[in-house]
Amino acid sequence: MNIVVTGGAGFIGGNFVYYMLRHHPQDTIICYDALTYAGNLATLEEAMKNDHFRFVKGDIADRTAVYKLFEEVKPDIVVNFAAESHVDRSIESPEIFLRTNVLGTQVLLDACRKYGITRFHQVSTDEVYGDLPIDRPDLFFTENTNLHASSPYSASKASADLMVLAYFRTYNVPVTISRCSNNYGPYHFPEKLIPLMIINALNNKKLPVYGAGENVRDWLYVEDHCSAIALILGKGRVGEVYNVGGHNEQKNIDVVRQILQILDRPETLIEHVTDRKGHDLRYAIDPTKIRNELGWQPTTKFAVGLKRTVEWYLANKTWWETIVNGEYQNYYEKMYGNRERRD
């Protein structure tokens, strides 16, 4: 089969490319990526050596380019990872998120209608559900939880999900959606919590933690997420949403402390900064549906995955140093340099 992976030069998309090349070597993977700030061709360096992989530069919101791609490669499956995904950036520039996450998804769906596919899979996020109270550990997001987006980012993803389901109902486009909890692992862009803390700790720089760091996230090792998506593509029911989570909740401050412990760095590097606007308190996924229907469950314990992730960043300094020394540094200073400290 020909499988188009949009956003495949990003974090989860890149890991998915490698997962599919390893586990489905008979398929051809076509990565379509605009190479914006978070897209990095260096992530796909090894994939480029594989005869069953091809890279095409392009924007999912560019209808002409997308239609040209579909005409040329005639995809059987489209997996849409392409998205603007950082909450802070969405607060600064909401319109970029609407263009890529909503209009871009709609262009892909139109291409699927025009040229025909066997499956369009939308990679979404648990953030479309809003947040949960920290003092109610018995509450979890299910596929039937109402959408209640808190940020321009999550609102754009929720909008895209609704568009995907509308194309299924109105046009019979064969779609599936997965909503996953926070991922971590190799190739994670340095603006996100875990890679940012690893890199800053390695450089003995301050580790900026929003507020008291009490916000809770459900963490999933990225390879486990990739295995879930592959399973949904093969066995998932068309028109369905599947929550993917690890039942692995951690406070942000505890994640930071574990990273410092692995790297043998002092907790005095932690610096509490003014909290993010509209900061969600807790995310927690109930993955019962995908476990019962498809037999999926995560295999990587958080302590194991975190250590593996730290070791990857230690072994791949060239990959992240190139990013940190480039345009990203300007963004880092904008977001954290002028924040009021909360010592």
Distance CA 91, CA 82 (A): 19
Please answer whether residues 168 and 112 qualify as being in contact, where contact means their C-beta atoms are separated by less than 8 angstroms: no
Q: Which residues of 208-244 are buried (b: 16+ CB within 10 A; e: fewer)?
A: bbbeebebbbbbbbbbbbbbbbbbbbeebeeebbbbb
Three-state DSSP class for 64? helix
Structure tokens at 46: 């090894």
Q: Is 127 a catalytic residue?
A: yes
What are the backbone angles phi and psi of residue 175, rounded to the nearest 5°? Answer: -120, 155
Active-site entry in 127, 131, 249, 286: 127
Angle in degrees, 0-180, between the axes of helices 317-324 and 302-315, rounded to the nearest 10? 80
- Which distant-in-sequence residues (6+ apart) come within 8 Å of 88 by Cβ? 191, 276, 335
Q: Which of 202, 199, 216, 206 is nearest to 250 (CA)?
A: 216
Distance CA 312, CA 229 (A): 23
The secondary element (H helix, E strand) that includes residue 205 is: none
Residue 113 Ramachandran class (φ > 0 left, ψ -120 to 50 alpha, else beta)? alpha
Distance CA 208, CA 173 (A): 44
Exposure of 222 in the CB half-sphere (CA atoms within 13 A) = 21
Parallel, antiparallel, or unpaired: how do β-strands 77-80 and 2-6 relate?
parallel
Active-site entry in 33, 59, 126, 224: 126
Q: Is 336 a catalytic residue?
A: no
Active-site entry in 32, 129, 153, 242: 153
Q: Is 46 a catalytic residue?
A: no
- Which distant-in-sequence residues (6+ apart) come within 8 Å of 59 by Cβ? 34, 65, 100, 104
Q: Which of 140, 213, 152 is nearest to 181 (CA)?
A: 140
Residue 27 gets which letter from DSSP? S
Catalytic residues: 126-127, 153
